[in-house]
């Protein structure tokens, strides 16, 4: 087969079919006026076909130059098709926001409920993306990160720490895409900002002596949020566990929280007292969808709904604080064992060798203690 067999005139007059120019370069025409250039190569012992563009947009001269460039790569031991693919990826400008969203999508399966509550994204959405979201991720360095987090590094250390850690994961994700990012940018930023000043702040709780009177106040209030707060007090559930509770999680007098619904730990059975069961029965009559405590348009209550009830009541205490309220009451008003009191809160206390042999979730004993707690809350 002779080389450079085609010229502009012959290419124009050729009909549909495959027409060789030589050295593996072919003009493949679907019809007389249109076609494409294809280069046949042997790459690492395998026959490959590499597209070089549309004809007549790409002229014969351009196609030959592209073909010769690909052949040179093959002679050097490089796959020209893979090299072109890598070059295209590198040419893509990915913003910090796009990198964050891509990282989140890749990690969703690892997150509880696929991260739908937005907790993974929240520190980035609040503290990083408003300032750096439109910046190309390859331009992100320790100085920009420091400037962005300086204001909260000591004032909101947990939020800043989460934002920094998730930004580090985002950079690793971008690097895996083939982008030229500084994987050490977050570590350098941490060195520039220094050690955080942390002070432990406990969530405000209500004295257990005041809990019965507040429970009665809730019964007199209108709306779904006060009812949800009563259920939280009775079950000692976390705010997210209660507001996302569904009827299919409740069977007989047990509320089953699966591992993915919990902050930590395996599946957890919560015994329901008579008062809690009465509340569930009322909610079955009132709720028109799967949630016990639906809000606007059937969606679950917001994170702040129950806290707002307490704030509007003029209280400093917050819903999560009722777990501490119960724990203090149980410590001072009952003879329950330490393990039982902790088990009521869903805390893991049987670890190591003990955990290997002690496999009871203490359901029977927890039911007795939580019934006593419910009786305490509902006393008039």
Checking 303-309 for CB contacts under 8 A at 24+ apart, the result is: 303/239, 303/240, 303/243, 305/224, 305/225, 305/228, 305/243, 306/225, 306/228, 306/229, 306/232, 306/239, 306/242, 306/243, 307/239, 308/225, 309/218, 309/221, 309/225, 309/226, 309/229
77 is a domain residue: yes
199 is a domain residue: no
Q: Look at residues 54, 89, 124 and tell me which one is the last residue of a structural domain.
A: 89
Q: 187-197 b/e with 16+ CB inside 10 Å = b?
A: eebbeebeeee
Q: Please give the backbone phi and psi of residue 239, each rounded to the nearest 5 degrees, phi first.
A: -55, -50
Residues 249 and 275 in one domain: yes
71 is a domain residue: yes
Q: What pLDDT is attached to residue 86?
A: 73
Q: How far is 327 from 333, CA to CA, in rounded Å? A: 10
Q: Look at residues 61, 89, 117 and tell me which one is the last residue of a structural domain.
A: 89
Residues 17 and 64 in one domain: yes
Q: How far is 267 from 217, CA to CA, in rounded Å? A: 33
65 is a domain residue: yes
Domain that holds residue 256: 208-378
Pair 16, 28: CB distance under 8 Å? no
Residues 262 and 350 in one domain: yes
2 is a domain residue: no
| Beta-sheet pairing, 34-43 with 25-31 | antiparallel
Pair 137, 171: CB distance under 8 Å? yes
Query: Domain containing 183 — which CATH number?
Result: 1.10.150.130
201 is a domain residue: no
pTM above 0.75, yes or no: no
Q: What's the distance, CA 85 to chain centroid?
A: 29
Residues 229 and 374 in one domain: yes
Residues 240 and 351 in one domain: yes
Count: domains in the chain: 3
Residues 100 and 168 in one domain: yes
If we measure between CA atoms, which residue out of 237, 216, 235, 219 comes closest to residue 227?
Answer: 219
200 is a domain residue: no
Residues 331 and 308 in one domain: yes
Residues 114 and 66 in one domain: no
One digit per residue, pLDDT tens: the chain, 380 residues? 557 788 888 888 888 889 888 888 888 988 888 899 999 988 888 888 888 889 888 988 898 999 898 889 888 888 888 888 777 655 567 999 999 999 999 988 777 665 666 788 999 999 999 999 999 999 999 999 999 999 999 988 989 999 999 999 999 999 998 888 999 999 999 999 999 877 666 788 999 999 999 999 999 999 999 999 999 999 999 999 999 999 999 999 999 999 888 877 789 999 999 999 999 999 999 888 899 999 887 788 888 899 999 999 999 999 999 999 999 999 999 999 999 999 999 998 877 767 777 778 899 999 999 999 999 999 86
Q: Look at residues 193, 226, 245 and tell me which one is the last residue of a structural domain.
A: 193
């Amino acid at each position: 087969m002779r080389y450079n067999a085609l010229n502009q005139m012959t290419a124009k007059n050729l009909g549909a079919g495959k027409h060789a120019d030589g050295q593996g370069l072919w003009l493949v025409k679907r019809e007389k006026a249109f076609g494409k250039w294809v280069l046949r190569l042997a790459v690492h012992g395998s026959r490959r076909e590499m597209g070089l563009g549309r004809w007549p947009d790409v002229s014969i001269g351009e196609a030959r130059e592209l073909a010769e460039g690909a052949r040179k790569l093959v002679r050097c031991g490089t796959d020209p098709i893979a090299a072109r693919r890598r070059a295209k990826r590198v040419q893509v400008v990915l913003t910090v926001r796009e990198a964050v969203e891509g990282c989140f999508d890749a990690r969703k399966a690892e997150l509880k409920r696929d991260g739908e509550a937005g907790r993974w994204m929240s520190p980035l959405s609040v503290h990083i993306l408003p300032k750096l979201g439109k910046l190309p991720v390859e331009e992100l360095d320790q100085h920009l990160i420091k400037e962005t987090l300086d204001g909260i590094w000591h004032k909101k250390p947990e939020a800043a720490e989460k934002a920094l850690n998730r930004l580090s994961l985002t950079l690793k994700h971008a690097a895996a895409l083939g982008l030229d990012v500084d994987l050490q940018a977050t570590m350098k930023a941490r060195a520039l900002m220094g050690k955080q000043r942390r002070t432990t702040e406990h969530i405000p709780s209500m004295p257990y002596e005041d809990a019965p009177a507040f429970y009665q106040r809730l019964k007199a209030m209108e709306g779904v949020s006060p009812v949800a707060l009563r259920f939280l007090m009775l079950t000692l559930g976390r705010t997210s566990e209660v507001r996302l509770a569904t009827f299919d999680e409740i069977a007989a007098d047990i509320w089953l929280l699966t591992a993915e619904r919990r902050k930590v730990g395996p599946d957890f059975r919560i015994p329901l007292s008579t008062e809690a069961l009465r509340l569930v029965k009322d909610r079955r009559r009132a709720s028109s969808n799967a949630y016990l405590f639906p809000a606007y348009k059937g969606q679950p209550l917001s994170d702040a709904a129950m806290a707002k009830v307490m704030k509007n009541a003029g209280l400093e205490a917050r819903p999560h604080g009722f777990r501490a309220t119960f724990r203090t009451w149980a410590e001072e008003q009952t003879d329950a064992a330490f393990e039982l009191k902790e088990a009521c809160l869903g805390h893991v206390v049987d670890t190591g060798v003990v955990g290997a042999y002690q496999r009871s979730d203490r359901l029977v004993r927890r039911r007795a203690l939580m019934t006593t707690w419910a009786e305490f809350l509902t006393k008039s």
